[in-house]
Structure 1
Amino acid sequence: MPIEVVSYMLSVEDVKRRLQFQLILQCAPFLKGIKVACITNVDKEVCRELRTVLAGTGIEYRILTVRKGRCLVFFFRREAFKAYLNRKDIREFLSLYGYGCAGGEADVDGILQRLSARVCRYSKEDIAFPHEIGAFLDYPLEDVKGFIDNGGRNCLITGYWKVYGDAEKAQMMFLAYDKAKTSAVNEFLVGRHIRDIACAAA
């Protein structure tokens, strides 16, 4: 994608259009239904437009923390995300970090509140960054664990995340993410609203 297009779209005066483009550019795999969640930074003054921009998409969001005029925003579709959190391997992994989801049905709001609290504590420099967030973002657990165990070093390959497990499968996912981004951006540039782009995958 030409850098000129990205630069132009991220500088347009229409705040809602600029926000739509940012979300499409940075969250395309999620919007297209490949991932169950995504995360991105949004300017604080633009955050108030999120509700309007996402209306009719079925997408919910939580602001995890606000720092230096930027909001760290987590996006998800509730039912798909809840089903993901209820996976046995995900429940067991997150329970190691105090998310209280080892048994029973996942409490989406409680779990996100816990994540927000940990990210906020990191922002205040009380704890190390909560790298378990990779599990929230639908990264393979073996790669999330590998990143934590290795302190981010010694990975096999790097793409949308650092890979410690199945490099071949990860490369296929990276290609799928790239394809989703190209598709979503092209749809937006020919006039489709983020609602149409996202709902086609819901």
Structure 2
Amino acid sequence: MEENSILEEKQVFKQLEGILNLLDRKPYYNNYLIRLLDLIGATILGVKPAELLNIPVNEGETKNSPWEECRAFLGLEKSIEFREIKTKNERIQVLFYHCASLDKTLRSKANLKFLRQIGYPEPYSLEVYVDFLVKRLNQGDFPHEVGIFLGYPLKDVLGFIGHPSLRLVKTQGWKIYGNEKLSVNKYQSFIQARTKVKGFIDSLHSQGIYSHLH
């Protein structure tokens, strides 16, 4: 299992290197994309199943939206999908997700039971559940179950929506309820994965493999 994980990580880094090497052709968008890769680093590695971001669609005096260019680059990362949700005040809300990781998270017996209880379809499929979440994100009230998609423990989602037996104990990345050990370990794994991706990008820069970044 560990060997497979190492192989998958090497493959991800190879794909990332390919994306970064293409940046020389679009120097105006380098910092924008590098910042985005940093923010979704844990999802790129599949440690965090998804990330929900509000991304500026206009930056500086560039004629075309940097986000349009980033969409093309991110299309080269085979394990990552993204869904554009809504645009407001020159920012677009985007859900990025690692297909295998999110599928595993949603298939968890407890998570699946909870999602079905609040109206998600009985026959499960990753695409159907992502569609359902996107539809709810486009509606008025913010769907609290998005925390499950983002990799938060179910107990923290239940605590946030007011489960009487769960007490708020701390905030670290998100509001943590009940026993904090699971939540803290999960949060630390997200940070470590994001740091690993950032370190990989920085190492390529220090080696001069791509020239226009930072």
Give SS of 1:156's match: strand
Aligned partner letter, 1:77: H
What are structure 1's unaligned runs of at least 5 residues?
1-12, 123-127, 193-202
1:158 to 166, 171, 174: 171
CA distance in 1 between partners of 2:204 and 2:198 (Å): 10
Give SS of 2:30's match: helix
Could you say which residue in structure 2 is the equivalent of 1:35? 48
Report if the CA contact (8 A) 2:46-2:98 is conserved: no
Task: State, as a whole percentage, how many aligned pairs show the same letter.
Answer: 26
2:186 to 164, 167, 173: 173
Runs of 4+ in 1 over 3 A off after TM superposition: 13-16
Could you say which residue in structure 2 is the equivalent of 1:118? 136
What are structure 2's unaligned runs of at least 5 residues?
1-25, 58-64, 206-214
How far residue 60 of structure 1 moved from its aligned partner, in angstroms, is 0.8
**Aligned residue-pair number:** 171
CA distance in 2 between partners of 1:32 and 1:78 (Å): 11
Could you say which residue in structure 2 is the equivalent of 1:98? 119
Q: Deviations over 1:152-174 (max 9, x none)?
A: x9521111111103212322233
Aligned partner letter, 1:182: T
Larger mean Cα displacement after TM superposition, 158-167 or 177-186 = 177-186
CA distance in 2 between partners of 1:36 and 1:121 (Å): 23
Q: Note if 1:145 corresponds to 2:164.
A: no
Give SS of 1:191's match: helix
What is the Cα-based RMSD across aligned positions, in Å?
Answer: 2.5
Give SS of 1:91's match: helix
Aligned partner letter, 2:139: R
1:33-112 alignment runs, 5 A limit: 33-44=46-57, 45-58=65-78, 59-100=80-121, 102=122, 104=123, 106-112=124-130
Could you say which residue in structure 1 is the equivalent of 2:3? none
Greater Rg by CA:
2
